[in-house]
Each structure stands twice: as C-alpha cells, then as structure tokens.
C-alpha cells in the first residue's frame, strides 16, 4: 500500500503481524545520566498517578534519566547529591567526555546475545533523551554544545548486532523535550507543555534526526517521547516512513496539542499503538498496546536501587502473561552502567524471565487474546488465557495441586491437554469446568501453562 501525506491515508496503516507476535521487547536507557546514575528511591510511577502529587514526583523523581532536570530543581535530593559529588559548578555536558571514555570497551554483541537468550523479539534504544545528547555522530549535530554526541556510533553498532541475532531494532527519540533547545525546568506535569521546543530550528533538527533514523538505521518503530513541535507535518513524516518501511510502526507520543489523559499523554495524531508506563489493565484492550517499565522504578541506571526496588522474576513473568492476554506487549527496560555493563540484579531478572519463556514461550509468542483474558481455578489461582489458531493456552499464575479445576471451561470429547515442558495430562469434564489430574506434584514455578486442543468453550 502506498501512503499519502494525509491523516486519512496514514490512518489506514495496520499494525504489522510481527509486532502482534513479538510480545517481549527490550528497552534501553543509556546516556550521560548513566555516569552519575543517581535518583532518589521515591516509588514507581503508578504510586504517583494514584496520588496526582506531581510536584512531589518531579522534586523526588526516581527516573535517573531525568537527572538534568532533577539536579536543577532547588532542594531536590539529586541537587544535593550533584553538588556534593561534582561541585556546584559542574555542568551536565561535562558528563559527555566521561561517558565517551566509558563506552570505549563496550561490545554490542554481548547485549544482542543476551537479549536473544531472554527470548526478546525486538529492541528499542534511546538515541536521544531529554538532555539532548545523541548516541550517534549525527549529520545534524547539536548547534549549542560542541561534540555533544557519542564518539562511537552506538545506534548503528547495536542495530547491526541485534539484527544479526534475528531480532528487530527500533529507536526511541525524545522529540518533545530537549533541554539544550528549551531549558524549561519541569516542576509539575503542566510544565511539560511549556518544555516542548517550538522554534523553527528545532523543528528542522528533530525532523532531520528522525529521517536519519529511518534512512540510515531503518528503525522498526518511530518511538517518540512526550510530544512533538506543532509546526511539523507529521502525516508527511509518517507517510514517508510507511512507504519506506511498510512493516514499521508509530507510537502514540507524537501529540502536538498537549493533553494528559487517564493512560498518559493523549495523541491528536495518527498512531499504531499505545505506550502506557508501568501499566496493567483489567480487560482486553481493542487497540494494540505496549507496557513499558523498568526492572526497578527507574529506566536509566540508578545505583541507589537494590533488591527492594527491583521487580522479582516472579512478578515480571506474571506481568508479561497478564499483558499478553490483554493484547499488549511488554517493553522491559534495562539501564546499563555508563560502560555498558548490565547490573547484576537486572541481569538476574532478565535471565530468570528468559528461562521461564524457554519452557512456556508457546503460550506467549505468536498468540492472540482469547474471548476473555482472566479466569480462576477452584483453589482461587488466577488464570490467563491466550490462543493460537484452535489452540487455547491456560496459564496458571501459581503452582496448582495435583488435582484442580479450571473454572468455566467446557471441552469436547477428544480434546488433548498438555503441560508445557512436561507432556499430556489426564482430564475430564466437570460441571464447574475442566478437571485436571496430575500424576505427581509440580515443581514450584512462577506460572504453569497448559495447552488445550481444540480450544474449549467459555461457559460464562
């Protein structure tokens, strides 16, 4: 399909099958903020959304990648840390040479092999965060700070390594905030609209970078953040992108009329999928979505975080299952140290998730939501459903006893049920649902997936 630079045309674009099938992506926040690697442990975003105390959030921002904003906020823990560690005259841009020295020994192949081992299908790298520092030597350099970019082509090197392992490579770009063009301090959610650079030279700058990420690096997604300048014909950019990469996607953060809704910033332009942060939902969502979250409360590496702030493997596994059952993908973030080392606790969580998927991946990858997402067993264990053709997967979010009922399912004679990783199990139909009988107790696991062929009926 050929796209024209109009909303009516680009809105005909369909979410490609690879993204529906992918389910798990790796997000990477890596940049100058990885050098100080500091943010206070103030809780996850969901806690702030519940209270709406945005002034408290920005003064105690647990996102380490917001360091440039936080250290300029009077009285903030980050400002106190910065002055004590680096001195009051140390400018943020001075982290640039430190970062470039640190990344000299980074091996992109190590990351790519790890992400493949975790069973991720795609990777999204932050090419420019709100601080404006570029992770590649762009043909359109920053006009205000000399050499304000990575000396290595981190964008291109990682893309080559990731594609070499058979995964898709996509790029994040902060189009909505760049403090080198607009130093607006963000103290409240309302300040975000004021922080979006609207000047003509920034419009040209951001558009040039997106076209570079499309033409030079073939980004699988236009993963923009916060918003975008008003004086940009985004339909033109989107049509150009889709005509070059028909199986590409555009996220929902290209809004040009800044509005905040229940799920985050509301887009007034075309988009293919939603991107709520640290989000879960109770029902299947018709629009494709992608929940992005850190393993801890921060996206960028925060050396202050420990086991108390990090999600357990159990929680990550169950979160992925829940998200996929409701038409979502999980974009799970890693925050590397400045030299590219992935911290041990993050590595442990990633490998644990990957090991679970080694056994149970059939219940996750290439599936679609079923008639309903949620169910229960007779012992009150939560169940999540996914389907693949005429196969239903019922994934129990705990270890069941040797005899249990999956409530409200009715299977036909000749149906086969298998426990992924083990083999067939005995079953019979009861009035309440499908009665499963195991020959031996199951090993403790974060979740157990049962394959049911053909798909049973939902009795509710």
Q: How far apart are CA 204 and CA 263, in angstroms?
A: 30
Helix (H) or strand (E) holding 331, with range, is strand 328-334
320-368 residue pLDDT tens: 999 999 999 999 999 999 999 999 999 999 999 999 999 999 999 999 9
Among 306, 331, 363, residue at a domain's last position: 363
Pairing relationship of beta strands 122-128 and 382-388 according to DSSP bridges: unpaired
* Residues 262, 178 share a domain: yes
For residue 454, whether the previous peptide bond is cis, meaning omega lies within 30 degrees of 0, is yes
Q: How far apart are CA 234 and CA 5, in angstroms?
A: 8
* Residues 257, 375 share a domain: no
Q: How many CB atoms lie within 10 A of CB 127?
A: 27
* Residues 374, 346 share a domain: no
* Residues 206, 66 share a domain: yes
* Residues 450, 344 share a domain: no
* Residues 375, 343 share a domain: no
Please enumerate in sequence order all residues whose Cβ is within 8 A of that of 117, keeping only pairs 6 or more positions apart, or say none: 351, 354
Instruction: Strands of 229-327 (E only): list them.
Output: 249-250, 260-261, 264-265, 289-294
* Residues 49, 174 share a domain: yes
Asked if 416 and 352 touch (Cβ cutoff 8 Å), the reply is no
Asked if 74 and 114 touch (Cβ cutoff 8 Å), the reply is no
User: Average of pLDDT values for 12-32?
Assistant: 98
Q: What is the CATH number of the domain that holds 317?
A: 3.20.20.80
Residue 167 Cα distances to 23, 116, 356, 360, angstroms: 12, 8, 19, 19
User: Average of pLDDT values for 17-43?
Assistant: 96
Q: Is the dihedral of CA 327, 446, 432, 420 positive or negative?
A: positive
Instruction: Determine the angle formed by the axes of helices 344-360 and 108-117, rounding to 10 degrees.
Output: 40
Per-residue model confidence (pLDDT) at position 460: 74
Among 332, 363, 394, residue at a domain's last position: 363
356-379 residue pLDDT tens: 999 999 999 999 999 999 999 999
Q: Is the dihedral of CA 364, 156, 207, 248 positive or negative?
A: negative
414-442 residue pLDDT tens: 999 999 999 999 999 999 999 999 999 99
Q: Tell me, what DSSP letter sits at residue 15?
A: P
371-413 residue pLDDT tens: 999 999 999 999 999 999 999 999 999 999 999 999 999 999 9
What is the separation, in whole angstroms, between the first and last Cα of the chain?
A: 41
Per-residue model confidence (pLDDT) at position 405: 98
Nearest to 70 by CA among 2, 158, 139, 130: 130
Q: How far apart are CA 45 and CA 188, in angstroms?
A: 14
Residue written as token pair 């009715």: 410
Asked if 206 and 233 touch (Cβ cutoff 8 Å), the reply is no
Per-residue pLDDT at 51 exceeds 80 = no
Per-residue pLDDT at 261 exceeds 70 = no
User: Average of pLDDT values for 164-179?
Assistant: 98
Asked if 431 and 396 touch (Cβ cutoff 8 Å), the reply is no
Q: Tell me, what DSSP letter sits at residue 377?
A: B
Among 363, 396, 421, residue at a domain's last position: 363
The order of strands in the sheet holding 24-28 is 249-250, 221-224, 168-173, 122-128, 24-28, 328-334, 289-294
Asked if 25 and 124 touch (Cβ cutoff 8 Å), the reply is yes
* Residues 331, 313 share a domain: yes
Nearest to 270 by CA among 229, 222, 209, 199: 222
* Residues 36, 129 share a domain: yes
Coil, helix or strand at residue 444: coil
Residue 1 falls within a domain, yes or no? no
* Residues 308, 195 share a domain: yes
Greatest CA span in the chain, whole angstroms? 76
Per-residue model confidence (pLDDT) at position 279: 87
Residue 2 falls within a domain, yes or no? no
Residue 244 falls within a domain, yes or no? yes
User: What does pTM read for this prediction?
Assistant: 0.96
* Residues 358, 428 share a domain: no
Q: What is the CATH number of the domain that holds 380?
A: 2.60.40.1180
Residue written as token pair 């005899």: 403
Structural domain boundaries enclosing 326 = 7-363
DSSP string covering 118-141: TT-SEEEEEEE-TT--BSS--SS-
* Percent of the chain surpassing pLDDT 90: 92
Residue 204 falls within a domain, yes or no? yes
DSSP string covering 145-184: STT-B-SS-HHHHHHHHHHHTT-EEEEEE--S--TTT---
Half-sphere exposure of 216 (CA within 13 A, CB side): 16
Residue 334 Cα distances to 25, 27, 66, 164, angstroms: 11, 6, 16, 20
* Residues 121, 86 share a domain: yes
Residue 316 falls within a domain, yes or no? yes
How many distinct structural domains can be found in the chain? 2
Using a 10 angstrom Cβ sphere, with 0-12 exposed, 13-18 middle and 19 or more buried, the burial of residue 58 is buried
Per-residue pLDDT at 50 exceeds 90 = no
Q: How far apart are CA 386 and CA 392, in angstroms?
A: 6
């Amino acid at each position: 399909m050929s796209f024209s630079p109009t909303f009516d045309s680009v809105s005909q674009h369909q979410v490609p099958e690879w993204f529906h099938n992918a389910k798990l992506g790796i997000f990477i926040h890596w940049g100058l903020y990885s050098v100080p690697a500091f943010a206070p442990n103030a809780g996850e975003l969901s806690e702030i959304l519940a209270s709406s105390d945005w002034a408290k959030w920005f003064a105690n921002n647990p996102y380490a990648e917001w360091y440039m904003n936080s250290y300029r906020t009077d009285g903030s823990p980050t400002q106190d840390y910065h002055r004590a560690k680096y001195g009051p005259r140390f400018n943020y841009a001075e982290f640039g040479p430190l970062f470039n020295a640190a990344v000299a020994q980074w091996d992109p192949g190590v990351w790519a092999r790890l992400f493949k081992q975790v069973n991720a299908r795609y990777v999204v790298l932050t090419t420019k965060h709100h601080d404006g520092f570029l992770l590649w030597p762009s043909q359109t350099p920053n006009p205000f700070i000399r050499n304000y970019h990575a000396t290595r082509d981190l964008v291109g090197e990682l893309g080559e390594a990731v594609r070499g392992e058979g995964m898709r490579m996509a790029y994040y770009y902060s189009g909505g905030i760049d403090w080198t063009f607009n130093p607006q301090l963000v103290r409240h959610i309302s300040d975000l609209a004021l922080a979006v650079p609207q000047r003509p030279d920034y419009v040209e700058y951001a558009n040039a970078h997106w076209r570079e990420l499309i033409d030079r690096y073939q980004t699988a997604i236009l993963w923009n953040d916060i918003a975008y300048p008003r004086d940009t014909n985004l339909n033109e950019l989107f049509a150009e992108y889709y005509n070059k990469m028909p199986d590409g996607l555009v996220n929902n953060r290209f809004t040009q009329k800044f509005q905040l809704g229940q799920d985050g910033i509301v887009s007034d332009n075309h988009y293919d999928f939603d991107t709520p942060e640290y989000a879960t939902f109770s029902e299947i969502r018709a629009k494709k979505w992608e929940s992005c979250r850190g393993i801890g409360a921060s996206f960028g590496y925060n050396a202050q975080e420990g086991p108390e702030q990090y999600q357990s493997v159990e929680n990550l596994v169950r979160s992925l299952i829940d998200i996929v059952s409701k038409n979502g993908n999980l974009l799970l973030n890693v925050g590397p140290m400045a030299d590219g080392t992935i911290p041990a606790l993050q590595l442990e969580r990633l490998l644990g998730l990957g090991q679970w998927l080694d056994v149970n991946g059939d219940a996750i990858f290439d599936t679609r939501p079923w008639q309903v997402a949620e169910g229960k067993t007779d012992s009150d264990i939560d169940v999540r459903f996914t389907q693949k053709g005429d196969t239903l997967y019922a994934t129990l979010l705990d270890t069941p006893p040797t005899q249990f009922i999956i409530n409200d399912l009715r299977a036909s004679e000749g149906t086969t049920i298998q426990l992924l990783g083990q083999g067939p199990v005995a079953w019979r139909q009861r009035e309440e649902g499908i009665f499963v009988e195991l020959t031996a107790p199951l090993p403790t696991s974060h979740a157990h997936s049962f394959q049911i062929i053909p798909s049973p009926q939902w009795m509710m």
